[in-house]
Amino acid sequence: MGFNGGRTQAYHNINILKSQFKINIPSFTEVQQYTIPYIKPLSSIKLAKYIEVCIKDIADLDERNYMETLLDNIPELRIVRKLVKIFKTMLKRGSGNIRKWIDFIMRSKRKLTGLKTFANGLLQDIKAVENGIRLPWSNGAVEGHVNRIKSIKRQMYGRAGFELLRRKVILSQTG
């Protein structure tokens, strides 16, 4: 900030301020006596998992405390958590106003980058999203079969032609 003085001059002025305002700062040896416990941060996978889970249901005490600390200090995380729970409830119940949910996210002054991107994706095909929430049908079984076929295709890549791939897909059907 433009200070041109030396180190001792700074220490002198800081000591004057300390005595003037009665600020007590522990010495270096006093600070070293305190042991600060290491808390392993949550992985992104666990954080995503714990976003929708009740805090009391987190088994690991350190992870529970870490999650509580995050929620206490990051108001955006609390908002994301509420929005995720609302979205999950809409899917489970088969009812809810998805447009209102998306509108809330888009109008939010908070930095909800991930949710805003997700909401934009939902807006691209809003009719399908509304039908997915409202209607009881699911394409989960079809997606499962597509995933199975793609896995087989990856295993067979570069080894054989279409006919062998076809046989392997037919023979691998379960159920």
CA 120 vs CA 60, 64, 113, 114, 139: distances in Å: 35, 32, 11, 10, 22
Query: Would you say the pTM of this structure is higher than 0.85?
Result: no
Cβ atoms of 101 and 87 within 8 Å: the answer is: yes
State the average pLDDT over residues 89-103. 91
pLDDT, tens digit, 9 for 90 and up, residues 107-127? 988 888 889 999 999 999 999
Query: Alpha-carbon distance 68 to 64, whole Å?
Result: 6
Q: Token pair of 155, please?
A: 């295993």
The share of the chain scoring above pLDDT 90, in percent, equals 25
Lowest mean pLDDT among 7-11, 69-73, 128-132, 134-138: 7-11
Q: What is the pLDDT of residues 56-95, one digit of tens each?
A: 998 988 889 888 888 888 888 899 999 999 999 999 998 8
Which residues are within 8 A (CB) of 86 and not within 5 positions of it... i.e. 6 or more apart? 96, 101
Contact, 126 vs 99, CB < 8 A? yes
The pLDDT of residue 136 is above 60: yes
**How confident is the prediction for the chain on average, in pLDDT?**
86
Picking from 108, 104, 114, 110, the residue whose alpha carbon sits closest to that of residue 51 is: 114
Interatomic CA distance for residues 41 and 47, integer angstroms: 9
Q: What's the Cα-to-Cα distance from 157 to each of 13, 143, 150, 173, rounded to whole Å?
A: 73, 21, 10, 19
